[in-house]
Structure 1
Amino acid sequence: MSSEYFTEKVEPTCILTTQQALTLYRYFARNRTGDTAGFETKERTPMLNVGRFKTLGLAGGFKRNKMDAIVFQCSRDILLKGIQVYGTDQGPGQLAINVRLIQEAHRANLATKNIILETDGKRKVYTIVFDETRCITKEIKYSIEIIVNGPTTFYGVDEEASVECDAVQITFSKSDKGTNPTDVERGQVPGMVFEVTSDYWSVKFIF
């Protein structure tokens, strides 16, 4: 990727540690020589960004210590790396977040992540990476369920119920497990980070 793409698209996602980002900035500054923080240098198709929500809302209607949930299914198999969450909307703050990935058919808990997230009040979206990549099987329904405690956060408005990103189509539906008003039209969980399998390229999908 170019240094401009790294600066404008990759680094702001917070998917890298501070040390990884610094090492890669040095790599680009030295004309692509030196330490690459363990990443491959061979060229590949860049990550793609696709939006689910068209606009942002502020706080209203989303209570702390309540569950936000959304159901999704994919048109092909993917490897789920993690999800994205909204940052605080009233200045810097600390969010205590519990995330679960559920396979709907049997309510199987595929992944759980508990994290304390430090937010700066300016960045709209943060990435939470699971400890292990999870395989998502095409046409099977899964849900992402999160509980957030702390200051109020942004939320998304005017969602697309189905979004296609080249080879992958993601379809969303309302979860009956949520106790906050996240649904197909508005809510939390603005995105997820994944890779498509085998012959397709890595994708960062924000919905």
Structure 2
Amino acid sequence: MEEPRMSSDTPDWQSATDFAETNLAMLTRKIACDVIFRVGVYREIITAHRFILVSRSSVFLSMFYGPLAEKDEVDIPEIDTLVFHSFLRYLYSNCVELTTDNVSGLLYAAKKYSVKSLSEKCVRFLDSALNADNACDILEHAHVYSEEGLAEAALRVITVNALDVFKSSSFKEISRHCLNRIFKSDEVRADEMSVFCAVLWWAGAECVRQGREITPESKYDVLQDSISYVRFPLIGLKSFEKCIGILDKDWLSLLRPFFATKMDIDDSASCLSARPRKQPPTRVNRFLTTEESLSWTFNSKRCDAISFSCDRPVELLGVMLYGAFPARDADDVISYSVECSVEEDLRQDYLSRTFFKGGNVLDGSNVEKTVLVSAKEYYIEVLFANPLQLSKDLKYTILLNVCGPDSRRGCKGRSTCVEDDVCWTFYSSSKSKNSTDVEHGQIPGLIYCCR
């Protein structure tokens, strides 16, 4: 909501605006304020109205009118002043402009003062902004604020994009709790040596945080139980010895107890787990080029669709979409509302020559969410809550409804693509009402893993 456009000499301004605007006018003009907050590191004075605050927050009600009511000034050093101004604007007007810079602070304020509607907005914003670069940060927020749904969404992005996440700056900043939660998972799509190297990178950062010298012994010490979640039997002692050149030789003596042959493994013992993790995902792109001069216009009432089949069973992890058309400021953040599903098409039993009804939406394939992406991002990746199990030689159709700015568009599409020993065949679909087909349009690729 914009600030009320009222000058100090405007007569009867209270009648010229709606209730939210008059509330904001009272706040910004500091009219009849009856509570003082000292906010941030420098204790900036911010005034407000108890009546508004207690009407929006049970915590403020207890603070001002409970048995231990604060009668004078309220000290809030841990909240940034700009964040607190935005927080108050929400309480007064029910409007807030969330950004990657203020969402963490606003979520903290919403939780601290029990403003559920604002915390829900913040969680939805964080979920929509998830990507491989920030997933660890968001997992940490979800852990701190006990938002399990957001934590699961962040873990899904982390496990699918593990090799990229391990290189992100946010990975080495996560807490030990979140580190353990990642590496406990069987869904992490990375080889075990990459997992071990990622753990060492985190341990080095933790040594710095604790003011310790970075040595194998200090890394081992700060890792504590986290080292037990590396599945050393999957690396094997011989393979580890070959790679030891990149490490200090002392690691071999420190870690030898964690190695064992698979015949000796008890799966219940996490320190010797040999359960295999998932394979890293493969991305198949059906277009040879992207149109540089023309954009693709979405129509939320007319879906883009493409049909496909594959010549071996796979797990479909997600769908790739094109990002915004590049004629934009690279610093812009673009919002898309995305609805996606996958249907199984009509299929035939060749022995009995019986046709089975198709058009069934695969369980777990429905995705409805808002996606926030940088204008410089070439692709948007939409992940399913769980991998979809696709059968060999059956025909499926991806249905996509998007509302948002124009995107890039693919051209010179291929009807047959081979990636990771999987042959994909693409077909134009009669359900595509926004012109996407084999030759051009949206839905450039699929994210999958062989079964």
- Range class of TM-score, shorter chain: 0.7 to 0.9
What's the counterpart of residue 100 of structure 1? 341
Matches within 5 A, 1:74-89: 74-89=310-325
- 2:392 aligned residue (116, 138, 143): 138
SS in structure 1 of the partner of residue 285 of structure 2? coil
In structure 1, what is the Cα distance between the partners aligned to 2:371 and 2:201? 34
Structure 1 residue 62 corresponds to structure 2 residue 297: yes
Is this contact kept in 2: 1:54–1:157, CA < 8 A? yes
In structure 1, what is the Cα distance between the partners aligned to 2:344 and 2:134? 29
- Report the TM-score, using the length of structure 1 for normalisation: 0.76
Is this contact kept in 2: 1:78–1:136, CA < 8 A? yes
In structure 1, what is the Cα distance between the partners aligned to 2:400 and 2:410? 15
SS in structure 1 of the partner of residue 438 of structure 2? coil
In structure 2, what is the Cα distance between the partners aligned to 1:115 and 1:170? 27
SS in structure 2 of the partner of residue 187 of structure 1? coil
Residue 61 of structure 1: how far off its partner (Å): 5.5
Indicate how the Cα distance of structure 1 residues 46 and 94 shifts in structure 2: closer, same or farther if over 3 A, else same.
closer
Indicate how the Cα distance of structure 1 residues 61 and 82 shifts in structure 2: closer, same or farther if over 3 A, else same.
closer
Residue 47 of structure 1: how far off its partner (Å): 4.5
What 5-or-longer segments of structure 2 have no aligned partner? Answer: 1-129, 137-157, 159-164, 175-196, 204-222, 236-276, 347-357
- Report the TM-score, using the length of structure 2 for normalisation: 0.37
Structure 1 residue 18 corresponds to structure 2 residue 252: no
What's the counterpart of residue 405 of structure 2? 151
Is this contact kept in 2: 1:59–1:153, CA < 8 A? no
Deviations 1:131-150 (A, max 9, x none): 12211111110000101101
What's the counterpart of residue 47 of structure 2? none
In structure 2, what is the Cα distance between the partners aligned to 1:31 and 1:62? 43
The one-letter code matched in structure 2 to 1:69 is A
SS in structure 2 of the partner of residue 114 of structure 1? strand
Is this contact kept in 1: 2:295–2:408, CA < 8 A? no
Is this contact kept in 2: 1:162–1:171, CA < 8 A? yes
Q: Which fold has the larger relative contact order, with Cα–Cα distance below 8 Å and residues 6 or more apart in sequence?
A: 1
In structure 2, what is the Cα distance between the partners aligned to 1:183 and 1:121? 25
1 or 2, which has the higher strand percentage?
Answer: 1
Is this contact kept in 1: 2:296–2:441, CA < 8 A? no
What's the counterpart of residue 112 of structure 1? 366
Deviations 1:146-178 (A, max 9, x none): 011011111111111100124210000000011
1 or 2, which has the higher helix percentage?
Answer: 2
Is this contact kept in 2: 1:96–1:149, CA < 8 A? yes
In structure 1, what is the Cα distance between the partners aligned to 2:298 and 2:316? 27
What's the counterpart of residue 125 of structure 1? 379
SS in structure 2 of the partner of residue 70 of structure 1? strand
Indicate how the Cα distance of structure 1 residues 73 and 24 shifts in structure 2: closer, same or farther if over 3 A, else same.
farther
Rg bigger for which structure? Answer: 2
Residue 76 of structure 1: how far off its partner (Å): 0.6
Residue 123 of structure 1: how far off its partner (Å): 0.7
In structure 1, what is the Cα distance between the partners aligned to 2:297 and 2:308? 21
What is the alpha-carbon root mean square deviation over aligned residues?
Answer: 2.9
What 5-or-longer segments of structure 1 have no aligned partner? Answer: 1-12, 198-207
The one-letter code matched in structure 1 to 2:289 is T
The number of equivalent residue pairs is 184
In structure 1, what is the Cα distance between the partners aligned to 2:411 and 2:231? 37
Indicate how the Cα distance of structure 1 residues 121 and 16 shifts in structure 2: closer, same or farther if over 3 A, else same.
closer
Indicate how the Cα distance of structure 1 residues 191 and 50 shifts in structure 2: closer, same or farther if over 3 A, else same.
closer
In structure 2, what is the Cα distance between the partners aligned to 1:189 and 1:103? 17
In structure 2, what is the Cα distance between the partners aligned to 1:184 and 1:39? 43
Residue 16 of structure 1: how far off its partner (Å): 6.9
Identity %: 23
Indicate how the Cα distance of structure 1 residues 25 and 98 shifts in structure 2: closer, same or farther if over 3 A, else same.
same
Structure 1 residue 187 corresponds to structure 2 residue 441: yes
SS in structure 1 of the partner of residue 433 of structure 2? coil
